[in-house]
Chain A
Amino acid sequence: MNCGEVREIIQLYMDNELEARDTLSVQKHLESCGGCFYLLETFLEQDRLLRDEARAEQVDSHLLREQILNIVRDSQPQSSVGRRNKLARWTGQPAWLRFAAIVVLALAAGLLLSKAGLLPSIGQNVLAAVASDHADHCSIDSKLPAITDADELNRLSRTYAKLDKTPDLSYFGYGGVRGRTCKVNGTPFLHLVYYSCDQQPVSVFLRLHSSTLPADDLSLVKEREYEVVSVFKSGVDLLVVSSIHSDKTTAITESIMAQL
């Protein structure tokens, strides 16, 4: 091989992309040609400097990792039941498209409802309000009056959610239910608080359906540091608030839905 031929394939040689016969030919040429040898050394050194520097660069991917994990954990596989399929398709869309869709839908809904005098009594404000209510009343040491009598709680559950008894969350390790009736943004709810063995509270808000929201698909939002899952099922509006993992909060909501 002459210099011209070697220089044409010298990068293939350094990247181990040459066949054995050509590799040997290049090696043989390099042993006797200083110019080509230094050309190879130059490229190798240049690559080494670039690789080492690029790999040593530090990036802060912590937040991005959390965002990705949250979306992945909250979404469901495609081969799932209908409601889960919708969520997976939704999360699979580009972020800007989802944001744009939410803005357009929210504006359109707001415009229509305000014109019709049917402003929703549950929405972002209510989600924020139930999160605040949860924060204010979920402490086991709360001095605020709470109902602990099982019969009375069952009666309230019948009134607010057509349930025979208060929802059972023992499957998830939650018990010691306390209840109160409250008004959230002017709408009466039954607020039940359950506790795990390590005193982690979960709030369940129930009322007979009386607005266009929440939708009959599960909706999960983050309000302050709390996960808020809302859904409408069997004529009942259900909101679950907790600071535990969103998957578990969703599972608890689904369990209550099954009891409705």
Chain B
Amino acid sequence: MRYKESPGIEVHNRRNELRVQKFECEALPQLDSLLKAALRIAPKPVDAEDIVQETYLRAWKYFESFEEGTNCRAWLFGIMFNVINARNGKHAKLAEIPLEENDLLDSRHNNVVMFDALKQVEGREVLEAANKLSEDQRAVLGLVVVEEFSYQEAATILGVPIGTVMSRLHRARRELRRRFMTRRASGANG
């Protein structure tokens, strides 16, 4: 078979070049966002890089199926969380525990005190505290708060019902807030 003489191969090469260019323009600009998100989830930086590389390899493999004009960023995040779930062996989604109210956290006095306390807090401290939340909570907090995906988009990305996104997010924010209140209380006592 003579490749060079086959017009089919020439067309194929041109198509492939265009495909690479499109991938570079649409998918690769999201690399930093994906890597940061993976670093918030993965235990080690090298794991995060592996996750992101695998995400991009899968994205490249199925790039033909990506619909132009749709949200490439959400598509890539969806692939990445599939990779993460596959690595974690999450085949079944656990039912969410019903939300619990905490009267202490909801008193007016505490809300005012907490808001004032947050004014003294560095962003770095909030991020570090967020990184200590459970993996599920970190994931949803990252998607909705940092990446500003809608609940529906976050649900699609994580492959969970929208109600699960709501409850995880609700818990994550409250847990974060609780940690700052606890720390503030211990600081005041100490």
Chain A positions near chain B (C-beta within 8 angstroms): 3-4, 7-8, 11-12, 15, 17, 34-36, 38-39, 41-43, 45-47, 49-57, 59, 61, 64-65, 67-69, 71-73, 75-81, 84, 88, 91-92, 94-95, 171, 251, 254-255, 257-259
Contacts and interface: CB of A to CB of B under 8 A. Distances in A.
A60 B106 CA distance: 41
B114 A73 contact: no
A54 B101 CA distance: 28
Contact of B118 (A46, A69, A92): A46
Contact of B107 (A35, A80, A254): A35
Nearest to A43: B173
B60 A75 contact: yes
> Of residues A3, A51, A69, which shows the largest number of chain B Cβ atoms within 10 Å of its Cβ?
A51
Interface in B14-68: 15-16, 19-20, 23-24, 28, 31-32, 35-36, 39-40, 49-50, 52-54, 56-58, 60-61, 64
Looking at chain A's contact residues, the main secondary structure is: helix
A54 to B, nearest CB: 4
Contacts of B118: 42, 45-46, 49
Given A64-B49, A79-B64, A94-B54, A45 B119 contact: yes
A67 B176 CA distance: 37
23 contacts: A11-B170, A12-B166, A15-B151, A34-B108, A49-B118, A49-B122, A50-B145, A51-B145, A54-B40, A55-B146, A59-B35, A64-B35, A65-B28, A65-B31, A72-B20, A72-B60, A77-B19, A80-B12, A92-B58, A92-B61, A171-B4, A254-B9, A258-B4
